[in-house]
Each structure stands twice: as structure tokens, then as C-alpha cells.
Amino acid sequence: MASVCFYFQVHQPCRLRHYTIFHQDSNYFDDSKNEEVCKKVANKCYLPTNLLLLDLIKKYRGRFKVAFSITGVLLEQLQSHSREVLSSFQELAATGCVEFLAETYHHSLSFLYSVDEFIEQIESHKQAVQKFFGQTPRIFRNTELIYNNNLPPLIDRLGCFDAILVEGADYILGYRSPNFVYRPPNSKRLKLLLKNYRLSDDIAFRFSNRSWNEWPLRADKFASWVNAVNGNGYVVNLFMDYETFGEHQWEDTGIFNFMRQLPEEIFKHPDNDFKTPSEVVAAYDAVGVFDAPYTISWADLERDLSAWQGNAMQQSAAAELYKLENKVKATKDERILADWRKLQTSDHFYYMCTKWFSDGDVHKYFNPYDSPYEAYMNFMNALDDLNSRCNRVLRLVSAKAEAGAGQKEQESARIPIMETPPSQSAVRMAVEEQARPMPRIPSERGPSQGRARHTTDGQPSARKCGDQADQPAAPRPSQRAADGVWQST
């Protein structure tokens, strides 16, 4: 039996506008350009292909199945610019024949730079999938299928995934076939589904290449290649960008007719079927270990990281970006955090690539720059402004904290420090003491009290108990103080 597992990556970045050091605002992204591209791809790819897949699901009564991973940055753009596309994906989800996978929300390289940020973005994307499509993802695919042996323990630790999608790189597989299920060396629970890059790229890259010796590619010919896997594998994993249909391969190449006819040709073999990634994991056991000590990806012939880390500009830009993580998160400013995460999208680093791409022409449709150096300068200008915004916010927070601490010190200085509060009995005694009547002053003084005082006219003084004792008369103006301090004017 050969099961066909279609997985489509659906993504569009938030492209930067032309941003220089002289810009006074902090609006880094080209909203009009992003809207234009989103609507263009929606009309050429997303809407017609979604309709085609829905028709195939209905035609074959649920026997035709596919899987998607839609990045969070694209979901946000679809909400703003093309809600009908989002609705068409939701209609596909409602069929029960379409599975939605999890990845990093911002299609980032965070796995390579920050474990904490990587986990946070996975959780954010899971929540987005649950919100829009009512599914809890069970399969994980990393950005650009970037993978090495360090990834499975992180995914395993989350406890919510059953498998990871991986590039079937020859220099890792050796003599083995990608048409089986494997497992990582450091996890007994997770399974690995490997992309059959030869058959996938026949559709994604070579379909309209007239110099290819298999051109034109028809559905019956492709189905015969799938049939050849029977007895030599369990599953043919066809992983590709969704923009293959209508954008990378235009409608006049026959790509839609090919897809429309393919299920019928596949089903002609009685042992063939279509499965989602979760169904593949449930149906087939792992036959061996896929040990990847080196980092691999699905990009270009090299299938490594050179598309994003191949030169000093890319390495510097990524390092400076992730160096800001603690500072960005310390601001607790939602807009700063959102901008920082949009800058993480891998496309920004891809635009800085200086190597020649044998299969990279498909990316030229969406590259807004004339050169990799322009892409680097533009990115670093935006990043520098983001850093300045962080500094301003943190200085303000620090100043407020210092002012608050000073105010508290002043308030504490004004408040008398109380000793241990008196007991209730002591308070009661004090109250009783105050309420006790004052002793009556005797009419005649005893011997020890001296004689009654008289005024100068010989009458008794009117001084009462509590009056101050006699003081010498105040000096007249003509007198001088004995100490010489006071004198008359």
C-alpha cells in the first residue's frame, strides 16, 4: 500500500517599507504592498485552489485528504485584507478531511536562537489554529522544515504533538527511503514524516520546466511513480508551498488540471489512498532512527541553513535581532513586542542571501528589494529604531520607579513611627484617669506652699492654679540685656 500525504505550507510575510535613519515614525511595514500581494495571491492561488480541493473532497466522499500549516502572520493579513480566503479555509476544515498543523506563529528562526521565544510562538500558533479552525494540532512542522536532533526533545517536552515533519535529506538518509516512518534517536514517542523531495519538487519546481526530460507532467505519469512505491514504502509525503498552484506555477501551465485529475489516477491502484499526517502516524510504525546531527531544511539543493545564514549580513542581522529579546520583553509594550516578532520572519533574512539559487526564482515574485545589501540596510534601520524605542520606554519606566520610591520615602518620613500599640487595659486606665475629677484647691495654703501673693495695691493676686510662676518684669526699652544680645532701638 502507498498512502499519499499532501501537506501545503501557506505563508506571506509582513514586508518592510523603505525605511531610513531619517524616518521619524516607527511604522516599519509596507501595509499597502502587503495588502496588494495578499489579494493577488488570494485570487491566483488560495481561492481557486481551495475551491478545487473542496470539490475533490466532495467528489470522492472524504477519501481525498490534505493538510495545511498557515502562519500566524498570514492569518492576520487574511483577517484584514481577504476574509473570503479565511472563510474558504474554514469550510475545508469543516469537511473533516483537512488537518491543520502547528508551527512558529511568525515563521521565525527562533529555534536556532531562543528556546523560550520558540515555545511561546508555538503556543500562540496552536491557539490561532484552535480559534480559526476548531482543531488542536497534533503534528509540528518547524519553519522551512529546519531540523536537527535538538528539536525532538523540545517538542516532546510540550507533550501535545505526535510527530514532526522533516526534509528527507539524502546525506542523512543514506541508502534508506523517505517513504517510511522514522523516529528521532532521543525520543521513543515522537515519529518523523520525511518529505519525498524528488516527487514533491516535480510538482513544485519542475512542473512547467520545458527543458525537463519528463515535461509535460501528466497525472497518470505521476501516479505511476507513486505506484512504484508499493512494496518499497508506506507513504509518499508530498510537501510544498501552497503558492505552487497558480502563483509559482501559473494556471496556463495546466497545474490545476493536473491536481484535478491526480486523485482519480491514484485511486486506480486498489492499494493506494490519501492520508493526513495524523492518519499516517496512526497507521504505520517507525522502521528506524533518523539521526540528524547536522541542521537540515527544505530550502535549495543544499537543504541546509545557507539560505538564511550563509553570509555575514544575515548572521549579524539575526544575532542583533535576538539580542534584543530581553530588552523588548522588559518593556511590556505590546506594539514593540509585535514589531520585534514580525521582524523575526525568516523571509527578511532570505532577502539578504547572496548565493545563487538553482531553484530560487520562485521567490523573486515576492522580493521587494533590488539587492541583498538593500535588504540588509533596510532591516537594520528598522531594528535600530526598535532598539531606540525600547530604550525610551525602559528609561521612562526607570524614572517612574525612582520617583515612586522617593515619594514613598517622603511619606514614611512624615508618618511617626509607632511603638508597640498599648493594650486595651492600658487604654481603659488612661481614659478613667482623664475622667477622674480634678482635686479641689485648698482655700489656705500650707506652710510649705508660702504666702499668698499680693498685687502692688495690697490686694491678693488673682493668679490661679496652673498659672506660671512669677517672672521678672520685661526690661524697659532703656535697659540693655546683661549678655549684650538685646538692646533698645
Q: What is the pLDDT of residue 448?
A: 41
Q: What is the pLDDT of residue 4?
A: 98
Q: What is the pLDDT of residue 294?
A: 94
E runs forming strands in 262-364: 272-274, 286-289
- Given 3.30.390.30, 3.40.50.300, 3.40.190.10, 3.20.110.20, which CATH number is that of 2-306? 3.20.110.20
The answer to whether residues 277 and 336 touch, using CB atoms and an 8 Å cutoff, is no
Domain assignments of the chain as residue spans, ordered by start: 2-306
Can 84 be counted among the known catalytic residues? no
Q: What is the pLDDT of residue 465?
A: 40
For the chain, how many residues are written?
489
The answer to whether residues 376 and 352 touch, using CB atoms and an 8 Å cutoff, is yes
Q: What is the pLDDT of residue 426?
A: 53
Per the residue annotation, which of 99, 103, 117, 144 is the catalytic one? 144
Average pLDDT for runs of 10 along the chain of length 489: 95 96 93 96 98 98 98 98 98 98 98 98 98 98 98 97 97 96 96 98 96 97 95 95 96 98 97 97 97 95 93 97 98 97 97 71 70 96 97 92 70 54 53 51 42 42 42 43 39
pLDDT, one tens digit per residue, over 6-60 is 999 999 999 999 999 999 899 999 999 999 999 999 999 999 999 999 999 999 9
- Among residues 382, 324, 372, the alpha carbon closest in space to that of 349 is found at 372
C-alpha distances in Å from residue 65, one per residue of 74, 268, 475? 23, 16, 114
Q: What is the pLDDT of residue 369?
A: 93
Rounded CA-CA distance 119/99 in Å is 21
Long-range contacts (CB closer than 8 Å, 24 or more residues apart) made by 171-179: 171/294, 172/290, 172/291, 172/292, 172/294, 172/296, 173/290, 176/288, 177/232, 177/233, 178/233, 178/237, 179/2, 179/229, 179/232, 179/233, 179/234, 179/235, 179/236, 179/237
